[in-house]
């Protein structure tokens, strides 16, 4: 049963989004249209990622982005697709992209709207050449400035002010998973008809967690508290949980698995880096929002992520997300050993 009580089989994402709109007081249909355009962007990007090896869009462009990462041709295609589908609709006052250093204004020939769309157009894109699942992550806020072109403060909002967030994962199948704050639902693309159909209604983190997920090659660079936590996981969580370890190196793939299997995904600070790796606005907040909507908890390691007030578009932050008891255990070790 979906979060909206659907029990018939053919539920398209368009129908589901419209039903969600009825749950939101004073909804005008703008958010519905925005979510439907994101789904369309996902279909267009999927059509390229599934043929990456066949058409000349694999590989790097030779440029590096604001993150200092090599820009893949598919990154640019995904960014452009999301921008072009949303720049003229009058629904947004600004956009933010992991691929763009500054906030992206709505072109002056178009109307400014009430929402802000932030996206990582193709998270994990460095894995494309290895056919690892990658994806698009998005966050939607209502603007906080009264009108006109959006400003930075419209984008720099905390997780608790997210109106909707989700992702499209391009893997063995293409799925769109999203939440408007009433739980999480997943839709699988039927490429024959070009529709996202409800396949994973009302996703909830399983009580019995299956995998823990962290890049153990950085263990030597982690703090005493994080190392102690890892040792606790490796040694069976005091007999409480019997989990395996899985880590793909594409956040969207690792967190998609987490949503369906339960466990924990974490990316700690490293003692030799000024800041962590994962982007607060483009990765950890939207994915953390979904985890909490599915009954889990997301933390910086010392405090709930939902308390963080972003101060920069490309701010990075440590993250621990998953089943609440596993995340709280990480916080305990970090507090005990690192005096955080
Ligand atoms: P590492 C991909 O580049 C990414 O931003 C996330 O998708 C992923 O979780 C992380 O970096 C992987 O980083 O250092 O483990 O390779």
- In this predicted model, what pLDDT tens digit does every residue of 168-180 receive, in sequence order? 999 889 999 999 9
State the DSSP code for 176. Answer: E
Distance 163 CA to ligand 1 centre (A): 26
- Spans of the chain, pLDDT less than 70: 1-9, 52-64, 66-72, 340
Token digits for 112? 């400014």
Distances (CA, A) of 154 to 76, 78, 190, 301, 316: 24, 23, 35, 26, 19
Instruction: Identify the pLDDT of residue 7.
Output: 59
* Gap between the Cα atoms of 220 and 232, Å rounded: 16
From the list 282, 278, 289, 256, the residue with the least C-alpha distance to 169 is 256
pLDDT of residue 183: 96
CB of residue 135 inside a 6 A radius of ligand 1: no
Ligand 1 pocket residue status of 50, Cβ below 6 Å: no
What is the whole-number distance in angstroms between the Cα of residue 126 and the centre of ligand 1? 9
Q: Using most ligand atoms within 8 A of CB, pick from 251, 254, 266, 268 the residue to mutate for ligand 1.
A: 251
pTM for the structure as a whole: 0.93
The predicted-structure confidence for 227-280, as pLDDT tens digits, reads as follows: 999 999 999 999 999 999 999 999 999 999 999 999 999 999 998 888 899 999
pLDDT at 19: 86
In angstroms, the CA 255 to CA 267 distance is 12
Q: What is the pLDDT of residue 53?
A: 59
Q: Are 286 and 223 in contact (CB under 8 A)?
A: no
Task: Give the integer Cα–Cα distance in Å for 332 and 155.
Answer: 32
The ranges assigned to domains in the chain are 13-200, 211-338
Fold entry, domain 211-338: D-Maltodextrin-Binding Protein; domain 2 (3.40.190)
- CATH superfamily name and code, 13-200: Fructose-1,6-Bisphosphatase, subunit A, domain 1 (3.30.540.10)
């Amino acid at each position: 049963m979906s979060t909206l009580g659907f029990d018939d089989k053919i539920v398209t994402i368009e129908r589901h989004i419209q039903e969600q709109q009825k749950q939101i007081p004073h909804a005008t249909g703008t958010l519905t249209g925005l979510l439907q355009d994101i789904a369309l962007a996902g279909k267009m990007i999927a059509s390229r990622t599934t043929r990456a090896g066949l058409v000349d869009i694999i590989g790097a462009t030779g440029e590096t982005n604001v993150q200092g990462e090599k820009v893949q041709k598919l990154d640019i295609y995904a960014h452009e697709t999301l921008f072009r589908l949303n720049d003229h609709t009058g629904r947004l006052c600004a956009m933010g992209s992991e691929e763009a250093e500054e906030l992206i204004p709505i072109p002056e020939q178009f109307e400014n709207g009430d929402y802000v769309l932030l996206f990582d157009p193709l998270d994990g894109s460095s894995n494309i050449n290895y056919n690892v699942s990658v994806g698009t992550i998005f966050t939607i806020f209502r603007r906080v400035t009264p009108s006109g072109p959006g400003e930075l403060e419209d984008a720099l909002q905390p997780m608790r002010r997210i109106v909707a967030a989700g992702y499209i994962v391009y893997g063995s199948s293409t799925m769109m998973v999203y939440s408007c704050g009433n739980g999480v639902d997943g839709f699988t693309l039927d490429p024959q008809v070009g529709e996202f159909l409800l396949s994973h209604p009302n996703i909830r983190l399983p009580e019995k967690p299956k995998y823990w997920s962290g890049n153990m090659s950085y263990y030597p660079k982690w703090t005493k508290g994080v190392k102690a936590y890892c040792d606790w996981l490796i040694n069976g969580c005091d007999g409480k949980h019997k989990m395996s370890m899985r880590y793909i190196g594409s956040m969207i793939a690792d967190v998609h698995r987490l949503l369906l299997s339960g466990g924990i995904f974490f990316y700690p600070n490293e003692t030799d880096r000024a800041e962590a790796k994962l982007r607060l606005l483009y990765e950890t907040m939207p994915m953390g929002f979904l985890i909490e909507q599915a009954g889990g908890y997301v933390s910086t390691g010392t405090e709930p992520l939902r308390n963080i007030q972003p101060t920069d578009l490309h701010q990075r932050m440590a993250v621990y997300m998953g089943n609440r008891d596993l995340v709280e255990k990480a916080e305990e070790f970090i507090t005990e050993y690192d005096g955080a």
